[in-house]
Amino acid sequence: MGVAAIIMAGGRGERFWPASRADRPKQFLAFHGGRTLLQQTVDRLAGLVETKNLWIITREDYAHLVYQQVPEVPRSRVLLEPEGRDTAPCIALATLHVARTNPDAVTVVLPADHLVVQEERFREALRAAAELASRGDRLVTLGIRPTRPETAYGYIEIGPPVEASGAYHAYSVRGFTEKPPRERAIAYLQRGGFYWNSGIFVWRVSAILSALREHMPGLMARLEPLARAIGTEQEAEELRRIYPTLPRLSIDYGVMERARNTLMIPADFGWDDLGTWAALERVLPADEDGNVLSGRVLAVDTRGSVVQGHGERLVATFGVSDLVVVDSRDAVLIADKHRVGELKAVVGRMEAEGLRDHLLTAPRSETDRAGQWG
């Protein structure tokens, strides 16, 4: 069984400003351990997917960042979207490429910007999912066992167990749900049978292509001339012509919710989608006052805060609590920790108030040393 992987690395990550910028989103930043989220995602697949079967799909603008950060992946395996069109077009395009070189592959599709604490358990779960997917025409997704009534994630409701692979059971899927309000999230946790939607999928190339053809025939029809052009001189031109016309739709809406052959494997490997700065509290060690500090930070009488320094600069906090403070070369953010999910509002105000420069990476000055955020 050949396992291929498609890493989706085209996200914008605006909620991590000012560390993330329009020209360097979250997946290209290192939050812990020195390696960026994209690099960690590639590292994490070692032993499961051979490098030659690894595909990365990203936006054209980020190509240089992918080339820099994961030079071990040949440029022919880095696919470039002319613009972001959500996950269904992205997965369809990447799968057409995989199909040309490895039509029988089981493919793991996963985002580049998530965090996984227990990497060996992550690979175990994916091995079980790949084994199940290899058995035939089914769409397997990983559901994360919820540990809190999280309102920032979508949930998957499962039905009865259907099959097993080793210690892993696969369940039928009753439905996918939107991010719930808090009371409903609490109810999900109490009732059981609800799992966080990880956005990680495993399927045979043939299974997802046939599901796409069934549930998104318009998308696949538009992609047909592009599919024929792959590997020819017309490929780049066709891609630029066709891609911007594709429907903006997620694979969850477009395929997973409609398909009858979906299975979910419950998994538990210390997963977080790092949706906001506040997520760092859950995944990085805190000091005795509940602060998650990184870089050159002096926190005096400070509680429950996430503070990120930048390079040689000092961030000093005094008498404050429940803040997120993020320094960068040309901007510093000070926000209520409980509202960092709304950070796009700040980015929107910056656009409106002529502060767009600060949405892009600041030019590096000569005496400035590299910060953690690169």
42: its two tokens: 């590639």
Contact status: 366 vs a second copy (CB under 8 A): yes
Quote the least distance from Cβ 79 to a second copy, whole Å. 34
Cis omega (within 30 of 0) on the bond before 161? no
Of the candidate residues 325, 371, 372, 373, the single one contacting a second copy (CB under 8 A): 325
Contact status: 235 vs a second copy (CB under 8 A): no
Of the candidate residues 317, 371, 372, 373, the single one contacting a second copy (CB under 8 A): 317
For residues 233 and 288, which CB has a smaller minimum distance to a second copy in the complex? 288
Of the candidate residues 86, 210, 346, 361, the single one contacting a second copy (CB under 8 A): 346
Give residue 311's region: left, alpha or beta (phi > 0; psi -120 to 50): left
Cβ proximity of 56 and 63 under 8 Å: no
# residues near a second copy by CB under 8 A: 41
In DSSP terms, 111 is beta-bridged to 8
Apex 201 CA angle, 195 and 204, nearest 5:
140
146 — phi, psi (to 5°)? -70, 145
Contact status: 300 vs a second copy (CB under 8 A): yes
Contact status: 32 vs a second copy (CB under 8 A): no
Of the candidate residues 46, 117, 314, 360, the single one contacting a second copy (CB under 8 A): 314
Which distant-in-sequence residues (6+ apart) come within 8 Å of 90 by Cβ?
Answer: 8, 10, 57, 81, 84
| Dist CA 314 CA 329 (whole Å) | 12
Of the candidate residues 99, 125, 133, 323, the single one contacting a second copy (CB under 8 A): 323
Where does this chain touch a second copy (CB under 8 A) — which range of 31-39, 54-62, 213-221, 315-323?
315-323
CA distances from 275 to 17, 185, 278, 358, 373 (A): 12, 17, 8, 21, 17
For residues 94 and 340, which CB has a smaller minimum distance to a second copy in the complex? 340
Q: Is 71 helix (H, G, I), strand (E, B) or coil?
A: coil
First to last CA, the chain: 38
324: its two tokens: 């997120």
Q: Which of residues 151-180 bind a second copy (CB under 8 A)?
A: none
Of the candidate residues 83, 86, 119, 368, the single one contacting a second copy (CB under 8 A): 368
For residues 289 and 336, which CB has a smaller minimum distance to a second copy in the complex? 336
Query: What is the arrangement of strands in the sheet containing 292-294, beginning at the earlier edge strand?
Result: 292-294, 306-308, 323-327
Of the candidate residues 163, 320, 361, 374, the single one contacting a second copy (CB under 8 A): 320
Of the candidate residues 1, 345, 360, 370, the single one contacting a second copy (CB under 8 A): 345
Contact status: 288 vs a second copy (CB under 8 A): no
323: its two tokens: 């803040």
Which distant-in-sequence residues (6+ apart) come within 8 Å of 285 by Cβ?
Answer: 292
Quote the least distance from Cβ 64 to a second copy, whole Å. 23
Of the candidate residues 11, 144, 335, 372, the single one contacting a second copy (CB under 8 A): 335
Could you say which DSSP state residue 148 is in? S
Of the candidate residues 74, 135, 349, 370, the single one contacting a second copy (CB under 8 A): 349
343: its two tokens: 């950070």
Where does this chain touch a second copy (CB under 8 A) — which range of 70-78, 102-110, 120-128, 363-371?
363-371
Residue type, 340: V
Q: Catalog residues that contact a second copy under the rule CB under 8 A.
A: 18, 296, 298, 300-301, 312-320, 323, 325, 327, 330-336, 338-340, 342-343, 345-346, 349-350, 353, 355, 358, 363, 365-368
